[in-house]
Structure 1
């Protein structure tokens, strides 16, 4: 794998408060220790800007990172609600012409799926803030091994099938609330021949049910090859770990739709990474990991 000498650090969702500066510095120190020189976006702390000006500034900063030939990957460190607001200001041909992995999670679900849909390039559903989180030692070890091409543990969640025995297709999705912000827009990912991943931090039973119902009304469940559920933090804390898959089966009412559940991808600081826009195979017969049947030219996924 080509060594990443420089990585861009961006904020594509809510502006970061000044109080995040120490965390930014800590993350930069970790990346530097791994041999990566962090390059900070000039639109990370723009709390003075609002509306279109802020979104355009974020989009322009991201475009510069993507075009920069010295930057091999882009890490988003934000979250919240605003990421979809920058989509109209992006030139998706730039992503296609300069393919490089974008790492982000939660609200960045909107950006990652839009980039796949409009540019055909893959991204990574993962928060690099995990490198300075509660499980930092484990995350750093996984990340470093991935960079060196020695291990795919970063991309190795485990799962159990609750319906069906296998799912094959291109992985799409992420945070369910943020994915649904793309509904009815040109940025919603193609569902045909896809594996749909869904997770959520907030939301009790009624809210999650409403999200599942909306996807049902959009005919998403009739188009995808299967569903992989991640963690639903608030929902599971109240109703139990089995609640999301039970609710989904009640909503979908389709015994032929393969459904699997992983406890190792979501908003937890111990979360594994998933590739958006990459073909995957999940099999019930194997108590192993995601088997990648395709990878991009810039090697975001080890074979």
Structure 2
């Protein structure tokens, strides 16, 4: 294990956030889409799981269930949720498409004065990266309407990962889930939306490269990262990012492989692919109501994305380990990735360790 790299990744200062206790209060916000207002029964199930599975007391903010709430109003809720000392963590209800436009209304001083863990994924990539720039760790995953409101019951794999993120401190070796699903329930159909989802067998991780690497996690949803790179307003400096571990995953929009390649080429031309110590890629979501692929079609889609990632990265960096098909992002069960915390990726042993 290259411990010199492990030490170098800690040159960028990050806060150590306190862990939660059972009975703590947490905030629930909708910084992107106010879908709890359209599907309140799904939101209510997620809130109940916070209470019953994790013994936490959720508090919603005014725009949480407000469809198309103005950006300024959503930003006020984000700031108020972090500023309230009674809240020990903040959860996003779900993702969306316009959170990047929210960031200009956020005051960094509020977050630095009241740092706390944030949970969410997809469009919440933008808030994760905003916090990363402030040296505040967060957790990529665990949205209220998706993972917490999983039909039937929460997956044990998800519960354990959320438990680690919320209550435990230290390094954890992760493993692949036994099964997964990338198919969704129709929230509008009250007769079927709570039916248990069928799980497919998980083929496990796909490794390329045998080097070892360690660094603080930085990344998110490919589509959101493309917007970040285009805006170029909230990206970290190359020096701050040096020694990090990149994580990527694609959303239910199911972008073609060239979209992933364009993002990686952009990062490569910045020189960043030579600064990352490893790359972790979540399992692609290969089914959506608009694109209900067959099992064979899913396999082709996922293979094409894997091959594109390896080919594009290797044009810039021949050595760093690339691990794909990991259980984070838009498929379930879901691993909580500790953004801003250290990940160790041992290509020599095909093992991954995350710091919670």
| TM-score, structure 1 normalization | 0.85
Q: Contact 1:77–1:127 (CA<8 Å) still a contact in 2?
A: no
Listed one character per residue, the Cα deviations across residues 125-153 of structure 1 (whole Å, up to 9, x for unaligned) are 00233122146141335534654539987
Find the aligned partners of 1:245 and 1:64 in 2 and give their Cα distance: 41
Q: Which residue of 1 aligns with 2:30?
A: 11
Which of 87, 100, 105 is residue 103 of structure 2 equivalent to?
87
C-alpha change, 1:121 and 1:150, in structure 2 (3 Å) is closer
C-alpha change, 1:185 and 1:207, in structure 2 (3 Å) is closer
Q: Contact 1:157–1:265 (CA<8 Å) still a contact in 2?
A: no
The 10-residue stretch of structure 1 (8-17 or 236-245) with the greater mean CA deviation from structure 2: 236-245
C-alpha change, 1:133 and 1:152, in structure 2 (3 Å) is farther
Which of 279, 295, 308 is residue 247 of structure 1 equivalent to?
308
Partner SS, residue 47 of structure 1? coil
Q: Contact 2:286–2:302 (CA<8 Å) still a contact in 1?
A: no
Q: Does 1:114 align with 2:169?
A: no
The 10-residue stretch of structure 1 (159-168 or 58-67) with the greater mean CA deviation from structure 2: 159-168
Q: Does 1:185 align with 2:246?
A: no
**Aligned-CA RMSD value:** 2.6
Q: Which residue of 2 aligns with 1:231?
A: 283
Q: Which residue of 1 aligns with 2:3?
A: none
Which of 105, 124, 142 is residue 127 of structure 1 equivalent to?
142
Q: Contact 1:160–1:284 (CA<8 Å) still a contact in 2?
A: no
Find the aligned partners of 1:151 and 1:194 in 2 and give their Cα distance: 19
Q: Which residue of 2 aligns with 1:280?
A: 343
Find the aligned partners of 2:30 and 2:108 in 1 and give their Cα distance: 18
Q: Does 1:211 align with 2:257?
A: no
- Unaligned 5+ runs, structure 2: 1-18, 177-204, 288-296
Listed one character per residue, the Cα deviations across residues 179-206 of structure 1 (whole Å, up to 9, x for unaligned) are 2222253311343111000110221223
Which of 259, 262, 270 is residue 333 of structure 2 equivalent to?
270
Partner SS, residue 232 of structure 1? coil
The number of equivalent residue pairs is 287
Find the aligned partners of 1:288 and 1:104 in 2 and give their Cα distance: 25
Which of 80, 88, 105 is residue 64 of structure 1 equivalent to?
80
Q: Which residues of 2 match residues 13-92 of structure 1 at below 5 A?
A: 13-16=32-35, 18-33=37-52, 34-47=54-67, 49=69, 54-92=70-108
Find the aligned partners of 1:262 and 1:290 in 2 and give their Cα distance: 16
Which of 174, 177, 181 is residue 156 of structure 1 equivalent to?
174
C-alpha change, 1:148 and 1:219, in structure 2 (3 Å) is closer
Find the aligned partners of 2:354 and 2:77 in 1 and give their Cα distance: 34
- Unaligned 5+ runs, structure 1: 293-300
Residue 79 of structure 1, CA deviation? 1.2
| TM-score, structure 2 normalization | 0.73
Q: Contact 1:146–1:152 (CA<8 Å) still a contact in 2?
A: no
Find the aligned partners of 1:141 and 1:245 in 2 and give their Cα distance: 27
The 10-residue stretch of structure 1 (269-278 or 282-291) with the greater mean CA deviation from structure 2: 282-291
C-alpha change, 1:199 and 1:220, in structure 2 (3 Å) is same
Find the aligned partners of 2:350 and 2:268 in 1 and give their Cα distance: 30
Q: Contact 1:157–1:262 (CA<8 Å) still a contact in 2?
A: no
Find the aligned partners of 1:85 and 1:246 in 2 and give their Cα distance: 33
C-alpha change, 1:192 and 1:149, in structure 2 (3 Å) is closer
C-alpha change, 1:83 and 1:263, in structure 2 (3 Å) is same
Partner SS, residue 213 of structure 1? helix
Q: Which residue of 1 aligns with 2:187?
A: none
Find the aligned partners of 1:278 and 1:142 in 2 and give their Cα distance: 15
C-alpha change, 1:146 and 1:230, in structure 2 (3 Å) is closer
